Structure 1
């Protein structure tokens, strides 16, 4: 393999996507159906204070709407370790102005149903939050119940999961989720569009990042590639969008999980917890228009928050119930979601037993945070040569790139010149996305355009090389071996917030 022509014209192809419409007001520290983050924000951000915490919580807890979703429940799962929240998002568009509805594509009447269902498990040590998305279209058995609207009695029947709220409100929703998962629900939180938008605005917006532009004509979402700070209405469009890819609700849930991680990062890194005035403003926005069970009072919120003072994005982990068929058609109902029963059983057993969703094997080191890239590194062929006089450096770079997923040749030679100062990446412009992905793994390298090179990229390692940055395909979190080992794919918050 010939080395990169050092005298060739160097094309500096930027690895930074085009600017967002609204650039971030401040640089983040570092680095889900839409209602999910409410419990983590409530428990981990609004309440993780000392001193002023009691004043803040006491002042806003009285504003929480109350509901009793546990009335009359029998034959419930065991208490288990830790605390489990069932977080549901309801439509609530009737509270918005006509102008807001038009601007954010919220036409039509509000449905009396849940748009979001998630289980949030806080560990007994209050050092980990596990967030599990429950697809609203899950085909499941709704227990016998009495419709609160009509008073009609109904026996057990098969419907989509979100129909439980329509037919029996919070109580039937809790009963259905507990029966499906075997997980005891300790607290219930319900949030609507208004609460969501208001809280995002009080935070000063929330940054989201995407490798490729996202556009959904139905929700009105229109995001450029890169990082954009979203206001409340734009954030609502982002977490509601279902038509930006072929993943529909599953893709939407994964974007919502990323949004939650960004909220946690924004709160814990943005000084909110250290600013009593800002904290109270956020707490009022979060708690002022939610409904919660009667057992979630000031004392419980304060104790929970004080135990979680060290919470940050790395303390959170996200997953979706493993799915066997995301487009299972049922006559009279339409497309539904069927769970992978074996994988789901492993997942909910971990919650019941207060175990991490993706525990590391003994002696296994934590995975370094990976940078999302456009091209899957497994599809990027790379030849590495040593352009320095350091023995074996080319081979080490080859192996490091292979370890992060690139399809390297495994055979590294010496370049024609051994005094290269800056690492070079030779690429054919027709494979620019692959070159950008490799550049993310070798930050500081220079891209050298070589027409007719073909799909194989060529790296000449220079004296400036320090280490390979881990990368991953830009998508909804890791899978692969993680999913095979545990029955579900899990990612932590620090892996998915914007870099």
Structure 2
């Protein structure tokens, strides 16, 4: 019996599989078209809300772009026209605006979009305003002034020219924020967390924050970044607080998922672009691209620096006190920006406890309260390496069986002893009136090592460019 003949016709394709494949392809195509349409509508909606300024018109002899990346000049003005009377009273914003820049920041986004460098330019910096033609058509010669006066004299364009002239850095985009837009943006992200090691009180702005962590709304945040009368550091102290605030904003927008959430990102972008002013070349698509780039940033990959200045300030006739830049250090800083190089050294640093008084201001004498030979010298060296002003002459204590380390101190120095106690967790504090300015540490058998401590500004006494990363200045 012969086997049944096999059909020579090729097998029919599975029609059901073909239909499903076609349906999936059509679905994907429709999805792509829908997403593209939504994205296009979103961009158009954001684009229509941007307020434009002519920041680059008529500029000549500009610095060349050197090492790649994008440079933003971000200025904060004291405009308060759209703030309600209630807000003006609550946050003490009733004074007349000077129509100048309260804050001037140069932001560099690296070519690989993995690093953001934020450089604050003190508003009282001595600057040479380039020659220009004023609004009435009258030519003005180049003249010395405070940096923030460039905006009052010639608006965004003269501000860009003055900053480029002073720094040698080519500015790609200009963004301007006033009091109202700042407050709205902070509120739309849900407030911003800040931390302080000591109470911050400024009667001029109404700021009053006890030590600890706080989530600030828009008005409170404005008080925080504007205050210059909290600790005697004036504008330089305010710059440090502004950088801590920006580090917290970066952490909140990246770790909080705002950049990955289309609804929240759209709300933030709409609020931001609807209330800031930007150059004609900066559009909604640029903001979207910037948001995507920021999603890859972390506080550790963001850097913060301030132009190094020479203190005290020098008077300028008809102007007042001005801050002259430390030119060699400033040149190194701006050269790193031009060449797209990092400002900070990438090396591991142990997490330090933030303290009010710097360890360099705390004098310490170390005694050995155990039978372990050399323990006092080891502790003396560890404290000195952490920054404490040790006597360098450790000795043996009268007792040899001390179980717990003891710190004796004069109660007059009750703020300074907290720094030492943070470096020696678990140590017993023993006030001794009349002991004087040198604290005494008697190490017990519980001593292991010294815990690192730092002030809120960890860049002090750091070699090279005085820059810090966002994780160093943000909340612990």
Alpha-carbon deviations, 1:229-258, whole Å to 9, x = none? 222111111211222233322222222112
Partners of 1:172 and 1:435 in 2: CA distance? 50
Shift of 1:419: 6.8
Shift of 1:358: 3.7
Matched, 1:480 2:466: no
Query: Which residue of structure 2 lines up, in the alignment, with residue 115 of structure 1?
Result: 102
Query: Which residue of structure 1 lines up, in the alignment, with residue 409 of structure 2?
Result: 427
Using the size of structure 2 for normalisation, the TM-score is 0.83
Partners of 1:114 and 1:457 in 2: CA distance? 45
Shift of 1:391: 6.7
Mapping 1:406-425, distance limit 5 Å: 406-410=388-392, 411=394, 413=396, 416-418=399-401, 420=403, 422-425=404-407
| Equivalent position SS for 2:108 | strand
- 304-313 vs 55-64, which deviates more? 55-64
Query: Which residue of structure 1 lines up, in the alignment, with residue 470 of structure 2?
Result: 493
Partners of 2:438 and 2:327 in 1: CA distance? 42
* Structure 2 residues without counterparts, runs of 5 or longer: 1-37
Change in CA separation of 1:73 and 1:297 when aligned onto 2, cut-off 3 Å: same
Matched, 1:205 2:191: yes
Q: Which has the higher contact order (CA 8 A, sep 6+)?
A: 1
- 111-120 vs 89-98, which deviates more? 111-120
Q: Which residue of 378, 385, 402 corresponds with 2:384? A: 402
Is the Cα contact below 8 Å between 2:369 and 2:396 reproduced in 1?
Answer: no
Query: Which residue of structure 1 lines up, in the alignment, with residue 202 of structure 2?
Result: 216
Query: Which residue of structure 2 lines up, in the alignment, with residue 102 of structure 1?
Result: 89
Partners of 1:267 and 1:397 in 2: CA distance? 42
Partners of 2:369 and 2:253 in 1: CA distance? 45
Mapping 1:364-379, distance limit 5 Å: 365-379=347-361
Matched, 1:240 2:223: no
Mapping 1:79-478, distance limit 5 Å: 79-80=65-66, 81-148=68-135, 150-359=136-345, 365-385=347-367, 394-410=376-392, 411=394, 413=396, 416-418=399-401, 420=403, 422-461=404-443, 465=447, 467-474=449-456, 476-478=457-459
Is the Cα contact below 8 Å between 1:91 and 1:113 reproduced in 2?
Answer: yes
| Equivalent position SS for 1:93 | coil
Alpha-carbon deviations, 1:114-169, whole Å to 9, x = none? 22111111112222211111122223222222223x33332322222222222222
Alpha-carbon deviations, 1:362-417, whole Å to 9, x = none? xxx43334333223312323344556677755544332221111123443647835
Query: Which residue of structure 2 lines up, in the alignment, with residue 28 of structure 1?
Result: none
| Equivalent position SS for 1:243 | coil
Larger radius of gyration: 2
Change in CA separation of 1:406 and 1:281 when aligned onto 2, cut-off 3 Å: same
Partners of 2:113 and 2:372 in 1: CA distance? 48
Partners of 1:346 and 1:193 in 2: CA distance? 33
Partners of 1:371 and 1:423 in 2: CA distance? 19
| Equivalent position SS for 1:288 | helix
Give the structure with the higher percent helix.
Answer: 2
Is the Cα contact below 8 Å between 1:321 and 1:339 reproduced in 2?
Answer: yes
Partners of 2:256 and 2:39 in 1: CA distance? 17
Is the Cα contact below 8 Å between 1:326 and 1:338 reproduced in 2?
Answer: no
Is the Cα contact below 8 Å between 1:56 and 1:279 reproduced in 2?
Answer: no
RMSD: 2.8
